[in-house]
Structure 1
């Protein structure tokens, strides 16, 4: 399978990642040769489940096979299946190049070894060790000087041909000792450290200058002016006391900075905290764009999803984003689901259609509580965002739609599949329709019977415990409070 990361060929035949970084993330791509190979293997597979095994192994969908087969039949892959780039390097040439480099390296190492042996002589190392051993006796200091002189002469000769590390290792001297004794410049003087709080910066204002600056800032002339205004006014008069930043710093040290203008203070937005323990308790809705036939042309998909069951209770594809269309969608969805007054809460983000007066009045007339995400908080509406990703990451999702009718036909097929056939991981791998219409318990009991039969037939395949179906749907939260995360779930709330 073709790698997602492009590679280039080195001269020695190896492969390494291409250092180029794309400004935009690239999606997975397949070469023509890979497509032809997979098509041939897929069409040759005849056993039960063989074709499905190929698709799962290669991480492909059946839609890929259909698309590639059409391209192959049209002859689009024939001209692209030839390999590109330089011809492969012969293994024999690569091995000869490696042996030649190894030979040159060994010759250099041999020349160094011969030179070291020549300098060492037959007993230079032994002589140095013996002299240093006698030098431990404080009564024989001349032997220590003689040993150091011999070692220094040997090092002076060796460092001309080999590295300092190799020379020190050959003559038994520590490398740090050699560098310390051959320092090229005297060690810098290190003054005694001064605590940071007691350290005075050379560019800091003196006490008299700070007092003068505070007096000017507190004067009747500049008491209502900002430091920038004070600095500019004095500069035009030929006076410079300090920079505007220094003025701000001096005032901050005295606690005299802050906003003094008549500026509105916006209250903090409350984080929405909603819980759905049964269908038609909390809905979430949003609008996403579908690419049209031309650049910068879009169709708009309105979707309302039940937070507890993940069931799509209403959707609409239109050529514009409008609060009037949103009003029609909400009204029709409430009528189809037989929503009673004071039963439902509808959550949305802060787009213009969601916060419009038209929608607000409609929700008030229907006795529906409305909830909105906080400004600039993208994860306050997670269920709608996750649903749109499921929709747009389908393998058959078109890159664009030619007409509004094409978009509606595709969405009609998708939502029928999503509600009735899609096993959702967030609701125990049940379909949204099963949970929304109260059939979850029956399906879970049927699954349990199948698993019990499998366990009775082969108990050795289940090591830890008998298998059980996934847990039933739990209450779904939007921004679950911290104190609720450890609380047990109310059985009455999940009975439906």
Structure 2
């Protein structure tokens, strides 16, 4: 082992002390002394109370032991000696004084001594806080994962129990649930958000991947009451006999019953004939057909109008006046009306044109629905609608309820208490009464289909503000007397969209989203 002189050892310690404060590695490269030896000398110097940082850092970044060593070295020095020491060590007097004050404060007892019981209680409280923090972090991660899962599109139809799910849809659902579960969501919560039960999810998941729905490919035994092939052949042979060849099953079955023969029910006869391609429409009568009604949806005013003409009786028997009326199905506002002495396409065309100018709809898309009468389909009106850019729409032939909104308005009009059921004295009297009624209907009548706001308010878009104020009034009343409400308060919500001939609920929801 190499031995070093005292002078060389002091030189190395001076390099590691202030003001040089060189790192041990630098001192080792300069002096050729191994770093382990330098570390040993530095530790012994520190143990003797000497400040030997040996880390190359600024004085403020020294360790507490080095700062305390400086305080010990300068404790007995006068102000002049302290100044000389600080200059030799590359320190400031204020630094040394601050370190000295810190040492004094550290040794000052400022509070009561902590007992072991208090320390244990504090550790227990820390463990509980850490446990609560972990729980909240898990809950936050689960909420975020479920939020991402809830934003995934699920299709137009809601998921119901027993509904068959195609394999691609199953794979997508399983992938989304697994992603949410890996992100921190509990499996039950993720399945519930996707519309599945945990049992269904486990049944779908197999080691090979995702199991397909086996119901379409399942082999099921035939029903016990099913007709045998021989019985089906007998029905076909009976229907093809010369005496029954021109008769439908509704005539064949009772004739066989009169003969004391029962082969099958009437519906079974029809089913067997259809499966054998032996049941078709015959005769000159046109085959029955079911036409779907014309459907339109309005999500705001000035989108879909409905119009019609109704009779207004006069005092002379057989003489009528004719009320032309146009209603906006969204707001139920009567946007135009006129009373004439005759029905005609010219009067209807002029009325529609004035209504579009009044509502400032020139060049804007509009659907105008009407019945299937001669006036509603006249060439004059058709040409006017084309020039105005209005899309015509008509009800099915011989169907009276395809234009329900305007028909409901006519009923409200004619069943008013002041309506002269015996007839109007003149056309001016009819116009005057209609003007008063339309003004009342648009501006004062609280419509039940609009959450009881006036059509004019709905037409101007002010109904949301009024309904919100009503909800606030009911909420305040419920807070004042909560026992008077067993469930929720009155909704006060007007429909966001209005349908002309609404479809089924599922189809309506899908088409409403498409229209929006």
Where relative contact order (Cα < 8 A, 6+ residues apart) is larger, the structure is: 1
Q: TM-score, normalised by structure 1?
A: 0.46
Larger radius of gyration: 2
Relative to total residues, which structure has the larger helix share, 1 or 2?
2
